[in-house]
Structure 1
Amino acid sequence: MQIIQSVESKIYTIRGERVMLDFDLAQLYEVETKVLNQAVKRNIKRFPDDFMFRLSLAEWESMRSQIVTAYEEIGSSSQIVMISQSKRNTLITPFAFTEQGVAMLSGILKSDKAVNMNIAIMRAFVAVRRIFLQPHDDNERLKEIKERIEEHDIQLNQLYDAMDNLLDEKIAQKKWETREKIGFKIGKK
């Protein structure tokens, strides 16, 4: 479970897609980033634009500041990652792999570590998807409950009105029967 949480922290939303960056994947697969990227380039037909894309320079600058902040908050063990990233040519932006792109990596990286890590990554993507879908379901449920309550309120108000009308009729009937009668009375002497 800890590995899935570790992977979840490396899933970013870029261009409306949940993605993982090449250097994070390389770290998880325990290979160098350039080795991972070379394997991808040798199999580039497997990675269409919706599976993998290169970040723009502006996206990369924004991501770098977020990544540094995140790694500083995590602690010193993550400084190793930042040291390895400081070697990266900042003009060459990283590749971002969508969930399908990460799945495709399993076909080109065949070590046992890569296969096991790929399974963990897929589970992390599923966990993230569940998290994103959960509030939507809750909102729908709350909306449905609210609508039901409003319907019940209307029905209860109609019931109360009907009961009031019945009570008013009974009170009027009693008043009519118990009123003092006027006029000529025939009856017992």
Structure 2
Amino acid sequence: MQIIKSIESRIYTIRDERVMLDFDLASLYEVETKVLNQAVKRNINRFPEDFMFQLTSFEWENIRSQIATTNSPNLKSQIVTSSWGGTRKMPYAFTEQGVAMLSGALKSDKAINMNIAIMRAFVDIRRILLKQSNINEHLIEIKERIGEHDVQLNELYDAMDNLLDEKIAQLKWKDRNRIGFKIKE
């Protein structure tokens, strides 16, 4: 369970896709980022654009600022600053399908076992998101019901007010039953 939580913390949303970055995957597979990327390049036909893409500098800056706050140790190998302050190469992002394809490119037992754990982490995240969307749907339904009840209660209060007003108007002051002692004449 601890490994799945560790993996979940390395899943980011970029371009409306849940992805993992090459250096995080390399760290989990216990290989260098360069080795992972070389394996991908040797099997590039397995990684179409919807399985893997390279980050833009803008995307990388956004993610890097998020990662820097977590003090991730695996950034040391990835962030190599040059004289102009950029990185040598933008990292690659792998979608869930891209991560699944990595098991074919990296054939070690560690890579296979880690791949299984990563797939479980993606499934857990999907399950959490589905629960959250169900909860949101229930809240919307409750709001609508409450709104309907408010309308119905207001109609009921108005009807009661009208009935009371009619009853009071019907009573005449002189015709009312007197309360108290009656004196004989």
In 2, the alpha carbon distance for the partners of 1:129 and 1:13 equals: 13
Instruction: Check whether the contact 2:54–2:93 (CA below 8 A) recurs between aligned residues.
Output: yes
TM-aligned CA distance change 1:29 to 1:149, over 3 Å: same
Question: Which residue of structure 2 lines up, in the alignment, with residue 108 of structure 1?
Answer: 105
Structure 1 unaligned regions, length at least 5: 72-77, 181-189
The alignment status of 1:144 with 2:147, answered yes or no, reads: no
Higher helix share: 1
The alignment status of 1:92 with 2:79, answered yes or no, reads: no
If the length of structure 2 is used for normalisation, what is the TM-score? 0.75
Paired residue type of 1:149: I
Aligned residues: 171
Residue 27 of structure 1: how far off its partner (Å):
1.0
Structure 2 unaligned regions, length at least 5: 177-185
**What do residues 70-128 of structure 1 show as CA deviations (whole Å, max 9, x unaligned)?**
21xxxxxx54x244335698322221101111122123323332222112212222333
Instruction: Check whether the contact 1:57–1:91 (CA below 8 A) recurs between aligned residues.
Output: no
Question: Which residue of structure 1 lines up, in the alignment, with residue 155 of structure 2?
Answer: 158
If the length of structure 1 is used for normalisation, what is the TM-score? 0.74
1:54-73 paired onto structure 2 within 5 Å: 54-71=54-71
The alignment status of 1:16 with 2:16, answered yes or no, reads: yes
**What do residues 142-184 of structure 1 show as CA deviations (whole Å, max 9, x unaligned)?**
23212211111111122222333334444555x36x827xxxx
